[in-house]
Amino acid sequence: MAVTSVTPAAGPRGGERARLPDGLWRLYAYLLPAALLLAAVLAIPIVQTVWLSLHTQEGLSPEKTWVGLANYRDLFADGTFWRVFAQTVVWTVSVVGVTTVAGFAVAHVLQARFRGRWLFRVVLMLPWATSLALSAVVWRFAMSPKGLVNESISLLGLGEVSVAWLADVPQAALAVIYVGIWGSVPFTAVMLVAAMRSIPDSIHEAAELDGAGALARAFFVTLPMIRRVLLVVTLSNFVLVFNSFPIIYVMTGGGPVNKTDILATYLYRTGFSGDFDIGTASAIAVVILVLLLVMSIVYVRGLVNRTRV
Amino acid sequence: MRRPGFHLDAWRFTLYGAALIVAGICLFPYLVMVSTALKPDAELAGAQSWLPTAPNWSIFVDIWTDETVLRGLRNSLIIAFGVTFLTLACAIPAAYALARHRFPLRDGFMTVVLVTQMLSPIVVIVPLFQTATDLGLLGGFPGVILASSAFILPFSIWLLTGFFSAISTELEEAATLDACGRLATLWHVILPLSLPGLAATAVYSFLFGWNEFVISLTFLSAVPEKWPVTVGVFSSIGQWDIGWQALMMTALISTLPVLLLFSFVQKYLDRGFATLIGR
């Protein structure tokens, strides 16, 4: 390291922080690259989305016609939109719900000391670390009628099956939800175990002396102690899963006939396939943004007000 | 509770059972990748079984001469390194300012950072596509890297701010007294001390770039020679000239760097998570 000697006599003390006006400009200069990137890729496009949602655009031509709220009117009058909306709710709630419960259970396995725990950790993180687009391709392949999912079901002694998992609902919906859970449990479990480690051993020992079994301790000691982290993780899962695109887009493409679409995939296919309906796609994006805004208010209340960095 | 040594009591038995089941569920697609990659065409036509009867081991060698696969891996690397570099270049100064100084708009900026973390590319993909078209960034890596970085940047700033805040200000003051400028202090004092945080942030952004899908899919759809692995594998489904074996092998290979990186920085990531969920 370059700095080792300290010379206390050098310069007037406290100068660095007192020189605000000059220092302030420099501080903002430090923030500038990040601010520019966020503005260019997030802030401005959000405004553009609202603008585009008030226009119609013929395919890929740049000609835009002002139509006011017509895109929204058409969207809200469209039965498909509302069905996709309901499917988004089902998808998000079931993936996040099961993930929270399963993540809490897996966190207990992760916290225990046993041989090969290191390997278990690495294996557990695989679903989180692999691109969902790739694992979705593999799941899609494995779920074909003669694929390895059906083969495994018969190996487990559950009978010979040749289910075409992705060809129809409800099994296609179940299949994508399963993969959604598969992909979000690892991160949840790791976050929860980090929180569980911060609980002092003495609390568990005291509960054990009082005769509380493992299950009782999990629910009456661990759960209340990690409540805040559980809330934060569940909320961020909610947003992530709600926004999730690759799993459904890759596995079913939203099909058969929109039956597994969620808002994210519906938006993409509206804007980038068929008749490239930019106006309607933007209106869907605005709907998503409004929902995200509501969620972020909940999120900020839950997180910022309690943890300050 | 914490007896030394190995005891196979009921609790241990449950624990190992649970660990095995969870590991099996997690590993499932990777086992599918290996099993499928090894199968000759004939064994993929009918009902599939886990163990290939005539495993084609040469796929492990042949895949490295497949130009499409190598090109995909190279493209993924370019995007991942680009995202890592740009993210760190923007996040380090921002996090330093946020961690060390109180100033007007600081809390506002922190809140914006936290909220933008919730946005996914899909929400703004339509205007991004149009802007990229207008600026001539469509069909090239710079556009993909710029757009992707913005989505991992908020998280990176948040993570690094936590790490920088944890460094004692005394060292910095000493450096300042030694007539080091702010930038020099950041470079010589803060960065070496926060290597774990930097490693965690770099790994996150690398993984994000390596795994990115929707932006590349949208920006690069017309130029197959620039497809990263994610887009390439997805777009090859149903293409008659590319076998499932090669696809599975490619998917397997592309999880390797992830696994390696992850094993190296596991303990730093733990601290990263701890920072993230607050102290």
User: What is residue A52's predicted lDDT score, i.e. its pLDDT?
Assistant: 93
Asked if B97 and B22 sit in the same domain, the reply is no
Asked if B171 and B258 sit in the same domain, the reply is yes
**Is residue B105 domain-resident?**
yes
Q: What is the mean pLDDT of residues B125-133?
A: 93
- Please give the biggest Cα pair distance in chain A: 84
**Is residue B52 domain-resident?**
no
Chain B hits for A208, Cβ within 8 Å? 1
Asked if B175 and B94 sit in the same domain, the reply is yes
| Percentage of residues in chain A having pLDDT higher than 90 | 47
The pTM is what? Answer: 0.88
**Is residue B97 domain-resident?**
yes
Asked if B260 and B135 sit in the same domain, the reply is yes
Taking CB atoms and an 8 Å cut-off, how many pairs form between chains A and B? 302
Domain carrying residue B33: 10-45
Domain count, chain B: 2
Q: Which is higher by pLDDT, B272 or A141?
A: A141
Instruction: Let me know the angle formed at the C-alpha of A267 by B212 and B147, rounded to the nearest 5 degrees.
Output: 35
Task: Determine, for residues B89 and A33 on separate chains, whether the beta-carbon distance falls below 8 Å.
Answer: yes
CB-nearest to B213 from A31, A133, A229 is A133
pLDDT one-digit tens code per residue, B17-40: 999 999 999 999 999 999 999 998
Task: Determine, for residues B210 and A131 on separate chains, whether the beta-carbon distance falls below 8 Å.
Answer: yes
Tokens of residue B259, six digits: 């696994």
Q: Which is higher by pLDDT, A34 or B58?
A: A34
pLDDT one-digit tens code per residue, B190-211: 788 888 888 888 988 998 999 9
Asked if B31 and B154 sit in the same domain, the reply is no
Domains of chain A: 70-303 (1.10.3720.10)
Q: Which of A285-294, B49-58, B60-69, B177-186 has the lowest mean pLDDT?
A: B177-186
Task: Determine, for residues B211 and A151 on separate chains, whether the beta-carbon distance falls below 8 Å.
Answer: no
Q: Is the pLDDT of residue B157 over 50?
A: yes
Asked if B40 and B110 sit in the same domain, the reply is no
Q: How far apart are CA B186 and CA B194, in angstroms?
A: 10
Q: Is the pLDDT of residue A14 over 50?
A: no
Asked if B41 and B81 sit in the same domain, the reply is no
Asked if B26 and B121 sit in the same domain, the reply is no
Q: Which of A17-26, B60-69, B166-175 has the lowest mean pLDDT?
A: A17-26
Asked if B245 and B125 sit in the same domain, the reply is yes
pLDDT one-digit tens code per residue, A43-93: 999 999 999 999 998 766 778 889 989 999 999 999 999 999 999 999 999
pLDDT one-digit tens code per residue, A268-280: 999 998 878 999 9
Domain with residue B227: its CATH number is 1.10.3720.10
Mutate one of A32, A38, A101, A209 to test the B interface: name it (highest B CB count within 10 A).
Answer: A38
**Is residue B209 domain-resident?**
yes
CB-nearest to A129 from B122, B251, B258 is B258
Q: What is the predicted ipTM? A: 0.89
Q: How far apart are CA A243 and CA A237, in angstroms?
A: 10
Asked if B158 and B20 sit in the same domain, the reply is no
Asked if B99 and B160 sit in the same domain, the reply is yes
Asked if B36 and B80 sit in the same domain, the reply is no
When mean pLDDT is compared over A160-169, B108-117, B189-198, B204-213, the highest value belongs to B204-213
**Is residue B118 domain-resident?**
yes
Helices (H), chain A: 15-18, 20-38, 44-53, 70-76, 79-111, 117-129, 132-142, 148-155, 171-197, 201-209, 214-217, 223-225, 227-243, 246-251, 263-272, 278-303
Chain B hits for A19, Cβ within 8 Å? none
Q: Is the CB of residue A56 less than 8 Å away from at least one CB of chain B?
A: no
Burial B247-274 (b: 16+ CB within 10 A, else e): bbbbbbbbbebbbebbeebeebbbbbbb
Tokens of residue A258, six digits: 């929109």
Q: How far apart are CA A234 and CA A240, in angstroms?
A: 10
From B206, which residue of chain A is nearest by alpha-carbon distance?
A: A129
